């Protein structure tokens, strides 16, 4: 009677066990990785004047496109500055001031519209805007967190004119993904405010 050697089977089983241990061992980190985002190439900062038939002028970037607001209820001199490559829009709404009561209501509306984002915002800071030589006054609202609008402001001469601005991204607000673009466009908003003049 002849017995077959079991050695090859044992070696094969040992090889499989060693291979399994090697595959499972080590210090590899299998935790979920954060979502990656495409690299953003920013254009050069170049500005041009807005001097259309509205009672104000300002400088805006050449990569921005100004279009009239076509939404329902839009009034003359309501403009949108589109930033197509960043999927963002700066909404500008102008209102002539006819009374002290109306002026106070417009200021209160600006405050309410900015603070309606408190549900998603982590903080809202107010900064005073004052250029007495041009009679340009207002408040700049910086809204941090995943709010729909990250920056809002209003400008006025305190007697005849009022303009409100609100920056929105046309996508789900995720601060971690839009922060570089937000910082880039905020510089353009700063230039607009610093060059703003009433006619």
- Measured distance CA(80)–CA(82) in Å, rounded: 6
Q: Specify the pLDDT at position 161.
A: 97
What's the chain's length in residues? 199
Q: What six digits make up the tokens of 2?
A: 């002849």
Question: What pLDDT is recorded for position 116?
Answer: 67
Q: How much is the pLDDT for 1?
A: 47
Expressed in angstroms, the distance from the first to the final Cα of the chain is 114
Q: Which two tokens stand for residue 116?
A: 């309606």
Q: Which residue has the higher pLDDT, 126 or 16?
A: 126
Helix runs in the chain, H state only: 7-24, 100-115, 175-194
CA–CA gap between residue 62 and residue 49 (Å, rounded): 9
Give the tens place of pLDDT for each residue, 85-123.
999 999 999 999 999 999 999 999 888 877 765 556 677
Average pLDDT over residues 130-137: 97
pTM, two decimal places: 0.76
Which of 33 and 132 is assigned the larger pLDDT? 132
pLDDT value of residue 162: 97
- Across the chain, what does the average pLDDT equal? 85
**CA 51 vs CA 54, 71, 128: distances in Å:** 7, 22, 25
- Mean of pLDDT values over 55-75: 95
**pLDDT tens, 2-47?**
545 566 667 777 777 776 666 665 555 656 666 655 667 899 999 9
Report, as an integer, the average pLDDT of 48-73.
95
pLDDT at 38: 60
Q: What is the mean pLDDT of residues 138-166?
A: 90
Per-residue pLDDT at 99: 95
């Amino acid at each position: 009677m002849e017995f077959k050697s079991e050695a090859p089977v044992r070696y094969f089983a040992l090889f499989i066990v060693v291979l399994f241990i090697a595959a499972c061992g080590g210090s590899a980190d299998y935790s979920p990785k954060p979502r990656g985002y495409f690299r953003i190439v920013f254009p050069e900062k170049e500005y041009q004047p807005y001097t259309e038939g509205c009672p104000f002028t300002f400088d805006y970037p050449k990569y921005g496109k100004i279009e009239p607001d076509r939404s329902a209820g839009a009034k003359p001199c309501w403009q949108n500055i589109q930033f197509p490559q960043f999927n963002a829009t700066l909404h500008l709404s102008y209102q002539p001031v006819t009374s002290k009561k109306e002026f106070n209501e417009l200021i209160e509306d600006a405050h309410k519209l900015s603070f309606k984002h408190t549900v998603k915002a982590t903080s809202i800071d107010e900064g005073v805007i004052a250029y007495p030589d041009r009679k340009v006054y207002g408040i700049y609202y910086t809204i941090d967190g995943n709010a729909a609008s990250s920056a809002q402001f209003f400008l006025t001469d305190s007697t005849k004119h009022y303009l409100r601005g609100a920056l929105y991204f046309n996508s789900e607000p995720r601060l971690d993904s839009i922060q570089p673009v937000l910082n880039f466009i905020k510089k353009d908003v700063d230039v607009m405010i610093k060059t703003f003049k009433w006619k």
